[in-house]
Structure 1
């Protein structure tokens, strides 16, 4: 990140994020709702369930390229998503190796 807090990637429902600040720092989560231009709700389906999402400032998140279509479709269709689907999306992202490549700066 270049210090300006501006990301080329836009926040969208289903996008995987890396938490940069707060108790879940260095963890990953999924955007489950966009509040406005500055804030989103995130959940991971494990410690942070869909019914108890965390409100986060976008400046405290790193928006990653990976977007879970399953999570986005479920929220668009029913207004909610299962915690299992959130965990599945995060596991799929972590297993894809994108998190390691991302941390190496590739």
Structure 2
């Protein structure tokens, strides 16, 4: 599962108080089996959520344009991330 994941991937939380909420992956920490997640609202780029790989479900949706912005250093804004997750309407 972790080899399929990439920056910009949309994931669903399956454990914890944020269960059933969707996030974007902004960083993968394979050595600790963690990812850093944002949703643009509660979890912003300035304060990403650390989440264990076992506690998320990977979706097939990838925000390629937002991922490119994050990887080049010109991080996309919280508003754009929030809009992307809302437009995706994965529920």
TM-score by length of 2: 0.88
Quick one: higher RCO (CA 8 Å, sep 6+), 1 or 2? 2
Where structure 1 has 5 or more consecutive residues not aligned to the other structure, the ranges are 1-6, 101-106
- If each structure's helix is expressed as a fraction of its own residues, which one has the higher value? 1
* Unpaired segments ≥5 residues, structure 2: none
* TM-score, normalisation: structure 1: 0.77
More strand per residue: 1 or 2?
Answer: 2
Aligned to 2:10: 16
Q: Whose Rg is larger?
A: 1
Distance 1:9 1:66 in 2: 15
Q: Stretches of 4+ moved more than 4 A in 1?
A: none
